[in-house]
Structure 1
């Protein structure tokens, strides 16, 4: 009976202050060119994709995306036209402010694609 009194009076409700909260990870994607102009971008995670056309800029940054707990993969594709064979297009994937993946293409017709597994 004494054992039941101690176990029944526990103040632990089974929860934990360190349990991750759904959607706590943030995804940001960046594209940067050298000697080229970005024209089209496709980005997102899993089947939640967004297409952006008519950019005509040398750099682009996505809005911050809050990822759900079950997100599997971040996808990022960009197309650009380089001025010379030495023109570059760099794609970067950041999760919670940390660079997780980087892909670079070189040339006059630039189509760079990358992904990062989120699990």
Structure 2
């Protein structure tokens, strides 16, 4: 029961973080949407013995949530984001094997690493964002 409450809390937290990130990407004169489409891949990598459990990822307001994951790596399918896309975001949660465990969240655009976020500890929460 306690484990379910923790997972629910972690999922809610990541959804809130991603939502806040997306909403903070308000459009103003300094921001210009992408003029062309791009191929995007989101990736997670956790240290040995850790377990990825949840990921929230997407672009602009197109958000996908994956729960009940397991293992030390996760990769999204390649997504073609349309011209006009402003931001890409990923947030993930994992359980570390120990206090030195790590979780890396990465965003690749057209095959090139554009953003990376890292978390360390027994409870892992990593996020990354990139503006096109």
Which of the five TM-score ranges fits, normalised by the shorter chain? 0.7 to 0.9
Q: Spell out structure 1 runs of 4+ moving beyond 3 A.
A: none
**Structure 1 residues not aligned, in runs of 5+:** 1-20
**CA drift at 1:63:** 0.5
The number of aligned residues is 97
**Structure 2 residues not aligned, in runs of 5+:** 1-34
TM (normalized to structure 2)?
0.71
Q: Which residue of 1 aligns with 2:89?
A: 75
- Cα deviation per residue 1:63-112 (whole Å; 9 max; x = unaligned)? 00001110000010000000100000001110000000111110011111
TM (normalized to structure 1)?
0.78
Q: Which has the larger radius of gyration?
A: 1
- Residue 26 of structure 1 pairs with residue 45 of structure 2: no
Between Structure 1 and Structure 2, which shows a larger proportion of strand residues? 1
Q: CA RMSD for the aligned pairs? A: 1.2
Q: Among residues 45, 51, 68, which one is paired with 1:54 in the alignment?
A: 68
